[in-house]
Amino acid sequence: MNRRSFIHRLAAGALGAPWWLAGRTVGATGRELAADLVIVGGGTGGCAAALAACRSGLRVIMTEATDWIGGQLTSQAVPPDEHPWIERFGCTRSYRRFREGVRAYYREHYPLTPDARARRELNPGNGWVSRLCHEPRVALAVLGEMLAPHLSAGRLTVLPEHVPVAADVDRDRVRAVEVEDRRTGTRRTLAAPWFVDATELGDLLPLTGAEYVTGAESRRETGEPHAPAEPQPLNQQAFTWCFAVDYLEGEDHTIERPAEYDFWRAYVPELQPPWPGPLLSWRTTHPITLQPREHVFDPTLKTGGPNLWLYRRILAAGQFAPGTYRSDICLINWPQNDYWLGPLVEAPPSEAERHLARARQLSLSLLYWMQTEAPRPDGGTGWKGLRLRADVTGGPDGLARAPYIRESRRLRAEFTITEQHIATEARMALTGKAREEVTAEHFPDSVGVGAYRIDLHPTTGGNNYLDLSSLPFQIPLGALIPRRIENLLAGAKNLGATHITNGAYRLHPVEWNVGEAAGALAAFCQARRAMPRQVRNTPKLLADFQQNLRRQGFELEWPRLRPL
């Protein structure tokens, strides 16, 4: 069996857990471990940070709270949300390598039709949310292949199912982080000169004493037109427990009635502006206009208009040899299973656990409603043939391994990105330029680029969607650097963005770029014996670092593009 086939079978579950997660801690012996860089959080940004640091020769320890690295791409099971130009430009070389790796994986291991195999921009699911809708296990396998050389060379140690519980901080420097193995309760101390917080909720920030913000800042603080008059630290975006389904017509795969089904079946969101009726319905709020919007759902239709069945489809059966799949496979991450009844960040642990459990109940209730009561275009009710695909996501109750997190603690950074820097209308008002001429703020310390509308889902504070046009933007280095702590960097959604601009900086390619820039910065600082703040504020060091990034395949500026 060749190496790629072996990894393929591992990721597919044929041989158990992936090789770096097979019930052991890779590369770790003893209770005290040291490295050049400790990355806490092995999600999308954490993996990118590890790749950047390892290819520069650093010894890296990366922890991950779940048993799957990859975060949004894997354990949270979310197909990548990307901008329209992603196939040509607007991401790092390594992110493009990941994307092409996913396509290559399907071509090598799956029985694609000749037409699908020949398609250069293969989209395995042909979902219309992304140009690359794919199964989470494939992303896991590709990330494993990308990290494999560093694991086998001993440069990278991965600690799965480890969470941070304490930090040793001397004045403004982090000396070590203590992590706990969630399976055994064993604690390990991880020491390094550099640390990256790539956790989903910014867990290192409070442990290290780094200043941070949660929820919505006030208009007085940020000057943002859409910020509230007063700060609302517990007003945070909804999170979602995703799941995958296929549809086998004529069969009955109805799940057991969820314990909270009666609550969710009757629940009418109390949001402003108002939600147009029960949450479990085909009627939702249009994110931009905030008017009622009727959705179509029909798993028997494989093509056509805005059918929710096609929205986040991660496997289109028609692209594979006849008889390979009995059905498409679709990922359910919809307005109807967004959970906003309480926050995860800064909530007492027992309350956060309760919200996590209720979010799982909401997703299961949505599935049960679709199976039993949902109105059908033919006048009937329910799609009993909808089958929960626990084997695709592998998490509790057949759902994803982890919830899809949209909003984290956010660093009070050297520089904070606000609505005035990237929102189209705010930039037009600030600059006096027409829509066709306006651009996002230019950041001289750019470490990458991104593009996405400012897309805030309903919040725990009772706000309905906020969806604003934005301009292709840069990622400023200052947003990765704490105001005070010297050797800690943001490596995920916890960078110095506001509640509003987080809505554009939280997506897959941007999180990857943030993490990769953090890993590259740690390596650069180690080689130059400089601190991150020095790199940003010393013109020669900054120019050298940006040139270093360009050589590694970072794009630091955009061509002239239209607003999103």
pLDDT tops 90 at residue 561: no
CATH superfamily to which 1-110+135-234+407-416+478-554 belongs: FAD/NAD(P)-binding domain (3.50.50.60)
Say how far apart CA 11 and CA 390 lie, in whole Å: 14
Q: Looking at residue 396, what is its pLDDT?
A: 79
User: Is residue 20 scored above 50 in pLDDT?
Assistant: no
Q: Which residue has the higher pLDDT, 172 or 2?
A: 172
- pLDDT band of residue 21 (cuts 50, 70, 90) is very low
Distance CA 48, CA 100 (A): 15
Q: What value does the mean pLDDT take over residues 477-487?
A: 98
Mean pLDDT value across residues 266-272: 97
For the cut 90, the answer to whether the pLDDT of residue 230 exceeds it is yes
Tokens representing 559 are 């061509």
**Across 43-69, average pLDDT:** 98
Q: How much of the chain, in percent, has pLDDT values that exceed 70?
A: 94
Give the pLDDT of residue 8: 41
So what's the pLDDT on residue 454?
Answer: 98
Contact 49, 515 (CB under 8 A): yes
71-84 pLDDT, tens per residue? 999 999 999 999 99
Q: Looking at the predicted structure, is the pLDDT value of residue 304 above 90? A: no
Strand partners, 455: 467
Can you tell me the distance from the alpha carbon of 91 to that of 179, in angstroms, rounded to the nearest whole number?
A: 32
pLDDT value, residue 203: 98
pLDDT digits (tens, 9 = 90+) for 314-332: 999 999 999 999 999 999 9
Give the pLDDT band (50/70/90) at residue 204: very high
Q: What is the pLDDT of residues 488-530, one digit of tens each?
A: 999 999 999 999 999 999 999 999 999 999 999 999 999 999 9
Q: What is the pLDDT of residue 3?
A: 37
Q: Is the pLDDT of residue 25 over 90?
A: no
What percent of the chain clears pLDDT 90, i.e. is strictly above it?
92
| CA nearest neighbour of 49 among 90, 94, 80, 86 | 94
Task: Give domain limits for the chain.
Answer: 1-110+135-234+407-416+478-554, 239-398
Between CA 160 and CA 136 the distance in angstroms is 17
pLDDT surpassing 80 at residue 216: yes
Q: Is residue 10 over pLDDT 90?
A: no
Report the pLDDT value the prediction gives residue 401, as an integer from 0 to 100.
Answer: 97
371 phi and psi, to 5 degrees?
Answer: -75, -30
Cis peptide before 396 (omega within 30 of 0): no
